[in-house]
Amino acid sequence: GDSVTQTEGQVALSEEDFLTIHCNYSASGYPTLFWYVQYPGEGPQLLFRASRDKEKGSSRGFEATYDKGTTSFHLRKASVQESDSAVYYCALSAPNNRIFFGDGTQLVVKP
């Protein structure tokens, strides 16, 4: 079945560090891939999505590239800020099917 695996349960960084959160997926065909972000006390919200191989999604300095060859959609940011502290969810949806979420990665950025 369709699934998403996020390798890191928690990532701790200092401000201006480079961020990578790994996301690998399992699905047939070309699913749509998403990154959602959840700030404390709020519900998850869409960060961005990508629907085709090699498509790059980006928002607020975060970016990820759809890679069908390695079935990955890793989240990256060149220089994190304390305000980026949140839980990040990778997700996928196959056509005519619901969204499947990964287990989430807690990002903690220290000033």
Partner 1 sequence: EAAVTQSPRSKVAVTGGKVTLSCHQTNNHDYMYWYRQDTGHGLRLIHYSYVADSTEKGDIPDGYKASRPSQENFSLILELASLSQTAVYFCASSFTSNSDYTFGSGTRLLVI
Site residues for partner 1 per CB under 8 A: 9, 32, 34, 36, 41-46, 49, 89, 93-99, 101-104
Least distance CB 65 / partner 1 (angstroms): 19
Least distance CB 87 / partner 1 (angstroms): 8
Strand order in the sheet with 75-77: 19-21, 75-77, 62-65, 56-59
Least distance CB 31 / partner 1 (angstroms): 8
Least distance CB 42 / partner 1 (angstroms): 6
Q: What is the β-pairing status of strands 19-21 and 56-59?
A: unpaired
Query: Residue 42 corresponds to which tokens in the numbers above?
Result: 């709020």
Judged by beta carbon, residue 79 or residue 97, the one nearer partner 1 is: 97
Judged by beta carbon, residue 98 or residue 111, the one nearer partner 1 is: 98
Q: Kindly provide the residue ranges of all beta strands, DSSP E only, lying in the chain, ordered along the sequence.
A: 3-6, 10-14, 19-21, 23-26, 32-38, 45-50, 56-59, 62-65, 75-77, 86-93, 99-101, 105-110
Judged by beta carbon, residue 44 or residue 74, the one nearer partner 1 is: 44
